[in-house]
Amino acid sequence: MSKVRRATHAGSWYTDDGAELSSQLSGWLAPAKPIQSPARAIIAPHAGYSYCGACGGHAYKQIDPTHIKKIPHLEETKLPRIPICTLASSSFSNGLKFSPAVSGAVKAYRERNLFQFKNWNHMQTSTNLSHGVSLHLLFKDVRQMLNWRQGHFTIIPVLVGSLSVEKEELYGRIFANYLADPENLFVISSDFCHWGQRFHYTYHDQSCGQIWQSIEALDKMGMDIIESLNPAQFTDYLKQYHNTICGRYPIGVLLNAVHTITKNGNGHKMSFKFVKYAQSSQCKSMRDSSVSYASGALVIE
């Protein structure tokens, strides 16, 4: 039985005990198989480990860390709602190395008002980002997860604002070259459907059966579109069903980056596949609520 997700402070969603965390991470990785590997990008959930850890392990299992040097981590901003992307303005060390940009070239885009730069602490407190990035960084812990030696890679936190379709295309073009580089691993942070009155979303297609079955059908419709790597279809899907995917803009940027690489005709073969899906609980009445989780990986050959 899945654990029912309740409203709580993000920091209480994972243990501070290193040994317990290590045991949990190992347990979630063990049953996962590298069936869509080596990943150049992953989509992974960002709720507390007790809710999505088992699902998230399937995404991280697709990673081969051998040649990875940089990890752009795309997370959607919560507050304030801004129409561009934000990068950390200064690097600092906290067990892992942080960098202000994918490369120095990105700073040039600041002059075109395409990126804003903020202090990392301000980014966390003003955007409610801390739980998402913290959880993903824990899930990539070099000692507990992928056996990387500390300092051998750089995390690049990217806050993705509420982007227009045109901006998603623009950022897709900007990030395409980095996505094509095998030394980069993109992590797209997103849960899927947030269903229930507390989320102000109660879509139910009764032809699918019970509410949880309708949610699954809705999510998998979107997942199929993501697997098709078609950004326009994903935009249309969101407009039609308004599915409450909390990483919709980072996913849109990823799809547009893939589209740019394909359009450039450089011979890359690309495939995206979801390897795990789960719900925090199975909703059966309007009093219930749930959050869906999906893990998937992009492979570029």
From 104, 45, 50, 102, select the one nearest 76 (Cα to Cα).
45
What is the model's pLDDT at position 173?
94
Whether the pLDDT of residue 35 is over 80: the answer is yes
Q: CA of 184: how far to CAs of 70, 154, 158, 210, in Å?
A: 5, 10, 14, 41
From 137, 128, 135, select the one nearest 15 (Cα to Cα).
135
The reply to whether 12 falls in a domain is no
Q: CA of 256: how far to CAs of 53, 168, 170, in Å?
A: 28, 7, 8
Contact present, 140 and 56 (Cβ < 8 Å): no
What is the model's pLDDT at position 283?
98
Binned at pLDDT 50, 70 and 90, residue 3 comes out as very low
Q: For the chain, give the percent of residues with pLDDT over 70.
A: 72
The arithmetic mean of pLDDT across residues 178-204, rounded, is 95
The reply to whether 176 falls in a domain is yes
Range of 6-10, 30-34, 88-92, 184-188 with top mean pLDDT: 184-188
Helix (H, G, I), strand (E, B) or coil at 111: helix
The reply to whether 180 falls in a domain is yes
The reply to whether 155 falls in a domain is yes
The reply to whether 218 falls in a domain is yes
80 preceded by a cis bond (ω within 30 of 0): yes
What is the model's pLDDT at position 288?
97
From 71, 64, 60, select the one nearest 98 (Cα to Cα).
71
Residue 51 CB neighbours (<10 A): 26
Contact present, 155 and 73 (Cβ < 8 Å): yes
Q: Rounded to two decimals, what is the model's pTM?
A: 0.87
Residues near 120 by beta carbon (within 8 Å), at least 6 away in sequence: 88, 89, 90, 92, 98, 157
Whether the pLDDT of residue 250 is over 70: the answer is yes
The arithmetic mean of pLDDT across residues 31-40, rounded, is 92
- pLDDT for 230-244, tens place per residue? 999 999 999 999 999
What is the model's pLDDT at position 163?
94
CATH number of 257's domain: 3.40.830.10
What is the model's pLDDT at position 8?
36
Full domain range(s) for residue 245: 32-300
What is the model's pLDDT at position 139?
53
The reply to whether 267 falls in a domain is yes
Contact present, 261 and 274 (Cβ < 8 Å): no
The arithmetic mean of pLDDT across residues 12-26, rounded, is 62
Count of domains forming the chain: 1
The reply to whether 227 falls in a domain is yes
- pLDDT for 39-55, tens place per residue? 999 999 987 777 788 89
Whether the pLDDT of residue 123 is over 80: the answer is no
Burial of 246 (0-12, 13-18, 19+ CB in 10 A): buried
What is the model's pLDDT at position 198?
95
Residue 197 CB neighbours (<10 A): 11
What is the model's pLDDT at position 99?
57
Task: Give the phi and the psi of residue 217 in degrees, each rounded to 5.
Answer: -65, -40
- pLDDT for 89-101, tens place per residue? 654 444 455 555 5
Contact present, 235 and 229 (Cβ < 8 Å): no
| Residues present in the chain in total | 301
What is the model's pLDDT at position 121?
63
Residues near 145 by beta carbon (within 8 Å), at least 6 away in sequence: 25, 29, 60, 139
